[in-house]
């Protein structure tokens, strides 16, 4: 395996782990509570938990709670 491929695989594994940690109900609440924006980073398996705290629907437009 060449080094570029190894870097890409390592990056992807890190991103996936980061999304598992990010796409949690409390994080979704904190992002909204702080006026942050959600840009759709969570995949379809993780997104419902992220949206859950404020009753947002996964297919809603990007929004922030202010």
Number of domains in the chain: 1
Residue 64 resides in a domain: no
Q: CA triplet 49, 64, 58: central angle to 5 degrees?
A: 35
pLDDT of residue 58: 53
User: Quick check: is 61 in a domain?
Assistant: no
Residue 29 domain-assigned (yes or no): yes
Domain that holds residue 30: 3-54
Length of the chain: 66
User: 16 lies in a domain?
Assistant: yes
pLDDT in tens, 1-46: 799 999 999 999 999 999 999 998 888 888 878 888 888 888 888 8
Domain presence at residue 59: no
The verdict on residue 62 lying in a domain is no
- Report the candidate in 36, 41, 34 with the shortest Cα–Cα distance to residue 19: 41
- The angle formed by the CA atoms of residues 8, 17 and 35, to the nearest 5 degrees, is 110
Burial class of residue 19, CB neighbours in 10 A (0-12, 13-18, 19+): middle
* Residue 36 maps to a domain: yes
Helix (H) or strand (E) run with residue 6 in it: helix 3-22
Residue 21 lies in a domain: yes
**Binning pLDDT at 50, 70 and 90, where does residue 52 land?**
confident
């Amino acid at each position: 395996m060449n080094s570029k491929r190894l870097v890409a695989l390592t990056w992807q594994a890190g991103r996936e782990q980061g999304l598992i940690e990010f796409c949690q109900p409390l994080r979704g609440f904190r992002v909204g509570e702080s006026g942050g924006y959600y840009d759709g980073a969570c995949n379809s398996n993780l997104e419902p938990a992220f949206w859950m705290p404020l009753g947002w629907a996964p297919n809603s437009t990007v929004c922030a709670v202010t």
